[in-house]
Structure 1
């Protein structure tokens, strides 16, 4: 999350009355006639001289303090400088100065052990700009540094990653057979992204299981806010927010106006799988649903000072949503999604329905380092209105409800075609999926005739010209389309929210 917002500050109280400190000069007895005017001038010049001396002393002390700090800093950096010159002068082959400097910067940020602090170079900084402005070409998954792998924070809804079945907390062990163990987040992102229509193969670990998934890249719109009236109750508008970007709030206003015209009088805001984004977007979106001056969030910096952000016209331009609201969340709801959810929950504006959120309670900013690079790093932690830090804890929903078990199965590997007679975990996983979808199969781990018949039924539903009963990549895609439809029709969280908001 990056922030460019003004925060509340207590302005000093200033009196309109002029200060009246002037006192009558004391009378000094002398053998010479007393001159009040001359005495006043001497007092003035003496005071001025004292002020100059004090200022000079303070200036010298400040200069010495800064000089001492500079000397201390130079001493601390001398090792880094020595290493740099030694490599430049004595390494067995020439090394690019730029490469060494980039490595030093990257190393310092890596040493923070903070997955959200990163050194971004030209193509990587462009990716960041794309992510907050609207769209890019890739698979559509927010990722972070995990232990010896890249971890998926959340796939963006309706993105290639989501359609391929990737989930929050999945670990990407390899990208096109290249291990991610030593990759930075941005190196991984540059490997994953690519031209629309091309493919990338990811080795995924989910729990104790590992499998490969081939994902076709496409144009991903990160700032989409979609809404529709529920078929069963046209007075309820279901609004999905896929990320928090520059145009998210304007998109929300447009959808709300449209749904109102269609008769919507209540709204269910869906931020499940929303990985977050811009802090300013979270502030402005939250303000739409809160009364002016209600606290949206608090930010604590390293000095211990607190900045409070409140709802108001500067965020929402006077547009307010006063209808009843509930929010759908899950473990893929992170960062800005959690700011929005906590703000409405703790102000008594909305109930949260679903499962516990991801738990990201830090704020990042981006600092340009050159024309080709920039640094994104953590500058503060944010707290909910009630001063709770949800980092690595998440937010507990008011009403717990989740998808069926089918949603949590590992993905069936796309590496090979499963055929009759095959035995193993992949076969058993296929049987588990088909069984939960209602097909007559037993979870034996053997590709028997019963499984052949079920696979043929899937292929027939998908209008295959020649249903073979073999489970290939094309059949895998057909199966997961069917899984998606099933989960959509068995959305326990949405059903629970609808039931509660209808009361």
Structure 2
């Protein structure tokens, strides 16, 4: 099954009887391809799935299929007919890539994809956390792109993008029909440049401008909280190359500070390297306890168990709680499920994302790649959480105002107007305790009065009108209120203080 080894990558061969049929020696590629990719847009990160190694080369599979499959003979015939008889010259690589894309797309699986050279490089940058962009994890959703989770401290998080937001346009151009990687590449760019996104949340569209930034390579942060209770609080943003090492460093540092208990925050974590999740989970489990299982289409589930192979002999035994939410996916779910089911750790927060499939990545000699779903991954007790997620032991959902859309157009927030942006403004003011009526989207006397009340309280010029300064301060203060009223964090602290 999956191992940390060099992968023998097959070479792509066009299905054309008029081309040379002799297969070249497969190209070898070094890398830890045992991972869960959540295509983390950075844009960086995107959620894909758990990647697995496959011993057989694509060439051999293709050769066997050509000998036995009527379907493959038909594809070969179509390829030859178009290549030889189309009224204009045909680029054979483009034709082959189109055929491959068509086959992969016919699976109807958003985690299976054929990637060209630039898309492959983008994905590889993601795994090494060496990317710049807006900092959000996304997935394909119908014709558009859906945000799974913004990464803490990134432009996407700062402007208030949320899980389940739908990205419909990039710089004014629709991304309908584009592949996930194509959309990600449009959002990426040089540090400091600006990208404008048209986003839809709960059926309501809005536009945000984000300044691209270098996405932090450090994936683990920690501090001692809880006063005399001495609770170690660790946040893990993604599972990247150095995450397990950073995590172990954090545990040791907190131990030196005298931490007696731990709260590990996996909220908004889109996943990443499966090997990192295995190493980190093993630190909390007794040797021999199951971390996860992987089940192929026609095989028995293979168990991955805790032991020195993963944790190097380092064990953590402090009472622990793990925070999860709808942005916790893939490797974050593997880690959380392992601690919950194999170590009795309580989960606090809201339902996790639910990513439970495994992909394999094949690299071709022209530096393109194909990833397809080949298996399921299961929790220690054999549960498949795909599209369901993990259910927290202690439920603590965010307040309703935490999911409000971003207010970006001052021109839509004028007295006498009626629109959804004004309704959102009223909800902002209501959350701050300044608007007492029903949020109906009409900018009337009650909204003007609420604005005056807010502006006076916020020590702004009292006009009853929305200007950029008022809007900016309102958004910043609401974000601070959401942080101050973090129900899941507070529930975990209460649990650990007992």
TM-score norm. by structure 1 comes to 0.81
Alignment match of 2:174 (pick from 168, 175, 179)? 179
**Which structure has the larger Rg?**
1
Name the residue aligned to 1:301: 296
Tell me, yes or no, if structure 1 residue 114 matches structure 2 residue 109: yes
User: How far did residue 233 of structure 1 move?
Assistant: 5.0
Alignment match of 2:397 (pick from 388, 397, 402)? 402
Contact 1:295-1:308 within 8 A present in 2 as well: yes
Name the residue aligned to 2:491: 496
Contact 1:460-1:467 within 8 A present in 2 as well: yes
User: How far did residue 392 of structure 1 move?
Assistant: 0.8
Name the residue aligned to 2:67: 71
Instruction: Identify if the C-alpha distance between structure 1 residues 4 and 473 changes in structure 2 by more than 3 Å, giving closer, same or farther.
Output: farther
Superposed CA deviations along residues 335-393 of structure 1, whole A, max 9, x for unmatched, are 11110010010013310000111111111232111242111222211111101111111
d(CA) in 1 for partners of 2:262, 2:202? 35
Q: What are the ranges of 5 or more consecutive residues in structure 2 without an aligned counterpart?
A: 6-61
Alignment match of 1:156 (pick from 145, 151, 160)? 151
d(CA) in 2 for partners of 1:328, 1:68? 48
Contact 1:459-1:478 within 8 A present in 2 as well: no
d(CA) in 1 for partners of 2:63, 2:252? 60
More deviation, 200-209/438-447? 438-447
User: How far did residue 416 of structure 1 move?
Assistant: 4.4
Name the residue aligned to 2:161: 166
More deviation, 77-86/345-354? 77-86
How many residue pairs align between the two structures? 441
Tell me, yes or no, if structure 1 residue 265 matches structure 2 residue 260: yes
Tell me, yes or no, if structure 1 residue 427 matches structure 2 residue 427: no
Q: What are the ranges of 5 or more consecutive residues in structure 1 without an aligned counterpart?
A: 7-65
Name the residue aligned to 2:233: 238
Partner SS, residue 398 of structure 2: coil
Superposed CA deviations along residues 392-416 of structure 1, whole A, max 9, x for unmatched, are 1111110000111111223334484
Contact 2:221-2:236 within 8 A present in 1 as well: yes
What are the residue-to-residue correspondences of 1:30-429 with 2, within 5 Å? 70-73=66-69, 75-221=70-216, 223-230=218-225, 232=227, 235-414=230-409, 416-429=411-424
d(CA) in 1 for partners of 2:92, 2:335? 44
d(CA) in 1 for partners of 2:217, 2:122? 12
Instruction: Identify if the C-alpha distance between structure 1 residues 3 and 471 changes in structure 2 by more than 3 Å, giving closer, same or farther.
Output: farther
d(CA) in 1 for partners of 2:463, 2:244? 49
Name the residue aligned to 1:446: 442
| Bigger proportion of residues as helix | 1
User: How far did residue 91 of structure 1 move?
Assistant: 3.9
Instruction: Identify if the C-alpha distance between structure 1 residues 67 and 436 changes in structure 2 by more than 3 Å, giving closer, same or farther.
Output: closer
User: How far did residue 195 of structure 1 move?
Assistant: 1.4
Name the residue aligned to 1:480: 475
Partner SS, residue 229 of structure 1: strand
d(CA) in 2 for partners of 1:495, 1:121? 46
More deviation, 470-479/334-343? 470-479
Contact 2:434-2:451 within 8 A present in 1 as well: no
Contact 2:341-2:380 within 8 A present in 1 as well: yes
Name the residue aligned to 1:32: none
Name the residue aligned to 1:52: none
User: How far did residue 161 of structure 1 move?
Assistant: 1.2
d(CA) in 2 for partners of 1:69, 1:135? 39
CA RMSD in angstroms comes to 2.6
Partner SS, residue 215 of structure 2: strand
Contact 2:412-2:421 within 8 A present in 1 as well: no
d(CA) in 2 for partners of 1:420, 1:259? 53
d(CA) in 1 for partners of 2:4, 2:249? 24
Superposed CA deviations along residues 155-189 of structure 1, whole A, max 9, x for unmatched, are 21222112221122222222222222211101111
